[in-house]
Amino acid sequence: MLATPKQLRELGILGMNRRNVSMIAAKNPRHLYPLVDDKLKTKKIAEAAGIAVPRLLAVVSQERSVKDLPRILEKYRQFVVKPSNGSGGKGILVVTHHDGDNYVKSSGDQISMESIQRHVSNTLSGLYSLGGRPDVAMIEALVQFDPIFAEYSYEGVPDIRVVVYMGFPVMAMVRLATHESDGKANLHQGAVGVGIDIATGQPLRAVQHGRPVTHHPDTRHKLSDVKIPHWDRMLKLAAACYDVTGMGYLGVDIVLDQNLGPLIIELNARPGLAIQVANGIGLLPRIKRVDGLTDVLKKPDDRAEWSMREFGML
């Protein structure tokens, strides 16, 4: 029923208290949070540093620009409207194509220009942002999700979470939406987490609700067959996020675009602990290895390669 603290220590599991005190409070400077919490800021610094992100098409920051939306959106066949300070997928409107005045959502439903304008207007007044604060609406390019994951995800889009400690990718997992998680890639809502070997990008094991599973509960595909292309590019991308944000303990969310390859979709200053369960191993030994490293590795690519050498499990 219960593990003993000793057992958890032996596995090197990072607990919530330790995460809050020694990781988040100690390694993530408070004043840098907006760089991560505000998606627009994240995107700007990432683009400036040459980190691949979904392209920013437009920003609506004032109510009076809302009436210009038809003109702005005219030239784009597909786009995503997103609150800059949103979380948990709230307020994200995905438009997959349009002709003339007809816009079609990812769900297949039609949506009128007026509805889009109302949605943006609501976003600006803070309907979807944390604490109801006024927000800005980002319009970004639709990610062309790589069909390679199609068999492993139900109704939703999988993403890859990499935890980056002091610039070193230390652990990774793929999050697969399920019927139960309502298409969302959130583990505590019932999404499947697949731990990924840092060295090779091969799946290690999979869990749902903290318990091991071998097959996707809806698509019935074997999870040990998941293949992740561009693995080293992903890790290098994740490692580079440390340099632009200065966050010592960072969660990097990556999606795979059919044409553009891995793109950073979101950064998180308070990444959760479930990644340890998905990998079947604790974070602490790897964190200690990074802390004990004497060489100075300035380049993100070098750090990613170091991690691939050090943290292989297979």
- DSSP SS3 for 283: coil
Site string for Mg ion, 238-267 (x = CB under 5 A): ----------------------------x-
Token pair 């438009």 in the structure block, residue = 95
CA separation for the pair 239, 230 (Å, rounded): 14
Upper half-sphere CA count for residue 3 (Cβ side, 13 Å): 9
The amino acid at residue 124 is: L
Stretch that binds ligand ADP, among 40-48, 86-94, 130-138, 303-311 (CB under 6 A): 86-94
Minimum Å gap between C-beta 310 and other proteins is 20
Could you say whether residue 126 binds other proteins (CB under 8 A)?
yes
Binds 140: which of ligand ADP, Mg ion, other proteins, none (CB < 5-8 Å by kind): ligand ADP
Closer to Mg ion by Cβ: residue 232 or 257: 257
First to last CA, the chain: 29
Binding ligand ADP by CB under 6 A: which of 135, 146, 159, 197?
159
Could you say whether residue 314 binds other proteins (CB under 8 A)?
no
Binding ligand ADP by CB under 6 A: which of 54, 193, 203, 262?
54
Site string for ligand ADP, 240-259 (x = CB under 6 A): -------------x------
CA separation for the pair 286, 288 (Å, rounded): 5
Minimum Å gap between C-beta 74 and Mg ion is 29
The amino acid at residue 165 is: Y
Q: Spell 128-162 as b/e; 16+ CB within 10 A means b.
A: bbeeeeebbbbbbbbbebbeebeebbbebbbbbbb
